[in-house]
Amino acid sequence: MSFSSEFLNELKEKNNITDVIGGYVNLKRNGRTSKGLCPFHSEKTPSFTVFEDTSSFYCFGCQAGGDVIGFIRKIENLDYVEAVKFLANRAGMTIVEEGRNDGLSQMRLKIREQNREAARFFHRALYAPQGRQALDYFHSRGLSDATIRHFGLGWSPDGWDALAKHLHGLGYKQEEILAADLGFRSRSGGVIDRFRNRVMFPIIDLQGNVIAFGGRVFTEGTKGGKYVNTADTLIYKKTNHLFAMNFAKNDKPDELILCEGYMDVIALHQAGFTNAVAALGTAVTPEQARQMSRYVGRVVLSQDGDEAGQRSIARSIPIMKQSGLNVRVLRITGAKDPDEFIKKFGAERFKRLVDNCANDIEYAIARIEDKYDTATDDGRLHFLREVCDFLGTLDTLEREVYAARIADKLKTDKSAILSQAETAARRRNYSEKKQQFREMAQASAGLGDKVNPQRSTFLRGAAAEDALLELLFHHQDYLKKASETLRPEQFVTDFNRRVYEQFLAIWQDGQEVTVSLLAQQFSESETAEIVRVINGDDVKGIADFDSLVNRIQEESARTRPGDVVNLSNEELRQQVALLRQRKS
């Protein structure tokens, strides 16, 4: 489904890109741009930039880029039409869909319907005579029938195709059952149930739709792993969702308890901790962290005390902090998980545990201390060396506070700890800057450019093409002159030639060249590259037009296939300086 330029222009006007992105990213205005930490990859220094004058965004770290529609597509995991609908709904706009038959939308609807029917099927099966053993399992774990109903828990019958037959009887086709990942194809060509003889946990989105399932073994001899989970489908991607977030988002405290598994969450809810959720994997993802940050400011990490759980905590902390969340870590002693702790010691004691848990810095220091016997000189020395490296990752104020605590505890000079920590910080900063320079130098040389691979071969020509495209985007009244003086085939890189042709085609159609219109003709990565080009700082003004056209024509005339036009060291340094200027 395509949209008119008039509609897209109105959509963008009513969905200011800075306002929309500001709902997901903490932006800080810097002249004509706004900057923040990229929501699509992990970083400490902001490289994500919003350009309001071109209604676009670009990350100089991971090369994500596009318009407001592209941002919503990426962050909400939507297709193009769904992203337009999302923004239209946000702006109170109506999309007219005359005779539209969107196969993907229809399939998404079918998957949601099947999941709802499957959840009902599993829940009924749990309370049928054949499900008695599964129901006894839930009761043995201390769950009441009210809790079982609240979470919609169920049981998948011990057969090959009980659910598939049920869904087929409701009119769903084999391809639709496969698309929902409720079954898989057998060797004979039929459909076999994905879940068999397992207790079932429905996964529900924020709107209350059943979008996936987790199935757990509860008897000896069940084939397969401990858990079988729905694979990614058209409506479900496990990295984007949290178990029980549909309930926890309505809880009043500005805090979530992030657990490791379904049963921990359910046990906590039953005990009154209705702000408990679980990541659908071992460690939290950036998408899950962003979702939590929309509802709360603080997250308590509650993972199993084994090594896998501790590694999960270590991976999760920086991801959540990047989303602006305050992180605290629960250290459970006397039990392996929250479920067991509450059974042994009660909900009130668990509440005290949550209220008094350490923040992420205290947790990290305690983890380091656990490695060494600080009662000995040798253990104390090894601990101090490692903890000083860790303090070097903190800001100056944090470093001061925790250096004082450590010095007081070990009866050591605080200034010595701070000196070692500052040395570690300088060493880390030098290493990061060296790596950043290396990456920028490679980018300036066009190395690893998958969108425009000819850039590394024709550096001068590609640079001139980039600059001209940037100029024409900002001065579109010059597209007429460009069409008369510069032929597309004179571009030395195929990608820039395609972009130039689209510029001319849109202009000849009487429309304004916008990122939104270009995005309908180019892939996501190509659109990001266009955004990078049009938001450069290579062109000072329209006076550059003639010189850029002449340079492109000269490069085209003298360049033969196989020619490599290299930049001098000085030119390379200038390009790196320019990239740094754009990123800062």
pLDDT digits (tens, 9 = 90+) for 248-260: 988 777 899 999 8
State residue 298 phi and psi, 5-degree precision: -140, 140
* pLDDT above 90 (res 225): no
Residues of the chain with CATH 3.90.580.10: 5-91
Per-residue pLDDT band for 562 (boundaries 50, 70, 90) equals very low
pLDDT on residue 557: 85
* pLDDT above 50 (res 152): yes
pLDDT on residue 81: 84
- H/E stretch holding 179 reads helix 174-179
Pick from 171-175, 224-228, 292-296, 320-324 the range whose average pLDDT is largest.
Answer: 171-175
Which comes out higher in pLDDT, residue 110 or 79? Answer: 110
pLDDT on residue 21: 93
pLDDT on residue 216: 95
Mean pLDDT of 177-198: 94
pLDDT on residue 423: 92
pLDDT on residue 99: 42
pLDDT on residue 475: 92
* pLDDT above 50 (res 564): no
Q: Tens digit of pLDDT for each residue in 430-479?
A: 776 676 565 555 555 554 678 888 887 888 899 899 999 999 999 999 99
SS (H, E, C) 316-379: HHHHHHHCCCEEEECCCCCCCCHHHHHHHHCHHHHHHHHHCCEEHHHHHHHHHHCCCCCCCHHH
Which pair of tokens denotes residue 122? 């599993």
* pLDDT above 70 (res 577): no
Q: pLDDT exceeding 90 applies to what percent of the chain?
A: 57
Report domain 5-91's class: alpha beta
Residues of the chain with CATH 3.40.1360.10: 242-357
Which comes out higher in pLDDT, residue 113 or 445? Answer: 113
Residues of the chain with CATH 3.90.980.10: 103-234
Residue 400: CA atoms inside 13 Å, Cβ hemisphere, count? Answer: 3
| Check whether domain 103-234 has CATH 3.40.30.10, yes or no | no
pLDDT on residue 429: 80
Mean pLDDT of 497-509: 95
* pLDDT above 80 (res 567): no
pLDDT on residue 379: 94
Between 3.40.50.450, 3.10.400.10, 3.40.1360.10, 3.40.50.1980, what CATH number should domain 242-357 receive?
A: 3.40.1360.10
Q: For the chain, what is the mean pLDDT? A: 87
- From residue 282, give the alpha-carbon distance in Å to each of 261, 304, 310, 313, 315: 9, 11, 10, 9, 9
Report domain 453-566's class: mainly alpha
Mean pLDDT of 240-249: 93
Mean pLDDT of 221-232: 84
* pLDDT above 60 (res 555): yes
Strands 56-59 and 154-156, how do they pair? unpaired
**What is the rounded CA–CA span in Å between residue 159 and residue 121?**
14
Residues of the chain with CATH 1.10.860.10: 453-566
Q: Tens digit of pLDDT for each residue in 307-319?
A: 777 788 888 898 8
* pLDDT above 60 (res 272): yes
Which pair of tokens denotes residue 275? 């702000």
* pLDDT above 50 (res 211): yes
Which pair of tokens denotes residue 453? 């691979």
Nearest alpha carbon to residue 492 among 563, 544, 576:
563
